[in-house]
Amino acid sequence: MGSRSCLPAACTLVTACVAWPLVSAAQLPDGSAASPPAPLAAPVTPATPNSATVPAAPAVEAPAPEAQPQLHENGRLAAILCLGVPLREQRCRFGSASGLVLTYHASGSVAEVLQFRDGWLDGLIEAYDAGGHLVDRTLYRGGAPQPMPSGPTSVQAPGETSLPLPPMVSSGDAPPPENAPTAPAVPPAPMAVAADVPAPRPPGGPLFGLGLRALVGMVTSDVASTAYTGAQVVFSPYQAGILPEFAVGIATTLDSTGLLRRLDVPMSLGYIWNLTRSPSPLYLTATFDVIYARRDIAGSVPGLTAEEAWMMGGHGGLGISLPLGGRERSWGRMLLDMRLGGTGRVDGNPPLRIPRDGAEPAIAMASQFRLLFTLTTLFSIGG
């Protein structure tokens, strides 16, 4: 049965073999031999471009936003913000800063220990609460957080000894204890000793303070003690921690008899030193004072009708500084203080004397002791 099915195919093959020589030998009417049929052409497939050889368009990276510093009122760095949040939570560039940068809580304790390289967070970044306890530790490379190496957990466990804080910027801070544990080792990152950070006062900070001062107190001399009151205009250039001030105004003694009543033009140049690092710090003040005084002579007597004198001295005191306005951005300060001091006459003119019952006449305008209470409202100007 199988041999019969192959018979037609074999016959076809034999017929083709016999017929091809005959066709080859045949001649065309013009006497030329017939040529064999041309082979069929293979179908042409259109060439597809190789996607791997086409160069991809280079990706254009958008410029990173710039981080902005935020300062406390005493001029210390409070935070570095990126789009309104701490720099640790967003990827921003902080200028060209390289090295170690510290931020501080309002109490003065370290808040963050930030390491930068070419403006990016790079290195071990630590955050502390106001009590000095470690609350977060993250490793950054090129501004992006990286997995931490094996070691202690980043959050301090209850009862665990605090890791030593980095040294404070001010020279009066005590060094960390010698037996305190050290932080876990991390891959070293080259950094500069000092950070190239923006200026201490960011755009929008005050340039100087301008305000009014009310004063009331007591003036005591060899003659008597009299009440004293007046007002001054105060000018204070902006400076963190220590505030220079210049004040000038007018004051008068309150004497019912009229013998010691006089008009003063007090001028003072001094400094204010903050004693505490808080929104409402205590401060010490010291001033150098120059006073022009004029006393009208009571009664209608021939001769001089007024006496003028120049006095020089100083005051020292203690007070408290209170912020005006919101906590994030105040628009001035209110200063309350008590000052003790004295002045002496330095003009060299012969002094006039006042008669006294049962005693020798006393100099009307001579050396005096002064006790003053002042209230100053200082407004921030400029920025």
pLDDT digit string, tens, across residues 321-379: 998 876 555 688 899 999 999 999 998 888 888 877 777 888 888 889 999 999 999 88
Across 146-154, average pLDDT? 64
Degrees, nearest 5: CA angle 362-365-367: 90
Which range has the worst mean pLDDT, 92-101, 187-196, 248-257? 187-196
Cα end-to-end distance, the chain, whole Å: 111
Which range has the worst mean pLDDT, 2-16, 26-40, 119-133? 2-16
DSSP strands (E only) in 179-327: 208-220, 225-237, 242-254, 262-274, 282-296, 306-325
Q: With bands split at pLDDT 50, 70 and 90, how would you rate the model's confidence at 240?
A: low
Separation of alpha carbons 383 and 379, rounded Å: 12
Task: Look up residue 70 and give its two tokens.
Answer: 């935020």
- Domains of the chain by range and CATH? 64-171+189-202 (no CATH), 208-381 (2.40.160.20)
Q: Which residues share a beta bridge with 381?
A: 208
pLDDT digits (tens, 9 = 90+) for 290-309: 999 998 876 655 667 788 99
User: What is the reported pTM?
Assistant: 0.47
Q: What is the pLDDT of residue 313?
A: 96
DSSP strands (E only) in the chain: 68-71, 77-82, 85-86, 99-104, 110-117, 120-121, 123-128, 134-141, 144-146, 208-220, 225-237, 242-254, 262-274, 282-296, 306-325, 330-345, 353-356, 359-363, 368-381
Q: With bands split at pLDDT 50, 70 and 90, how would you rate the model's confidence at 19?
A: very low
pLDDT digits (tens, 9 = 90+) for 78-115: 999 998 889 888 889 998 889 889 999 988 889 999 99
Are 204 and 68 in contact by the 8 Å Cβ rule? The answer is no
Are 237 and 229 in contact by the 8 Å Cβ rule? The answer is no
